[in-house]
Structure 1
């Protein structure tokens, strides 16, 4: 699913699991849709376990910890898994190519 927050001029793209938890999240800012986050909950948890959380957060960001079913005032648009994967892959490539 995706949502647009006009106060921040940011598009948020989410992949959720069966319990409505965000498992992957992409954030694209501004008119150029610059990727500022492309975070995976599974990667974030691994980074936690290996004491690399700061490194992961500074590079890829974090996923929201509030289940989608608890969101108020948001009307997300649904995406296909293929649409999400295209956005995810593009954002990850761009973020990973940046100097650390």
Structure 2
């Protein structure tokens, strides 16, 4: 799903599990849609367990801390898996390009 927060001029893209917990999240800022977050909950948990949480947060950000069912004031647009994957892939390539 995706939703827009006009106060921050930011698009939020979410992939949630069956219980509504966000497992991947992308944030695109401004008219240029600059990726500022492309976080994965399993990666975040791995970084936490490895003692590299600050490094992960600084590079990729974090996912929402509440399940979708507890959000207020959001009217998200549904996305297909393919639509989310396209946004996710593009954001990850811009945030963390592979070494040449």
**TM superposition score category, shorter chain reference:** over 0.9
Tell me by how many angstroms 1:55 deviates. 0.3
Q: Which residue does 2:31 correspond to in 1?
A: 31
2:73 alignment counterpart: 73
Q: Deviations over 1:54-99 (max 9, x none)?
A: 000000000011100011111000000000000000000000039x
Shift of 1:20: 0.2
Q: CA deviation at 1:43?
A: 0.1
Unaligned runs of 5+ in 2: none
Match in the other structure for 1:57? 57
Q: Secondary structure at the match of 1:58?
A: helix
Partner of 2:86: 86
RMSD (Å), alpha carbons: 1.0
What is the count of residue pairs matched by the alignment? 98
**For 1:97, what is the secondary structure of its paired residue?**
coil
Q: Which whole-Å CA distance do the structure 2 matches of 1:72 and 1:28 have between them?
A: 21
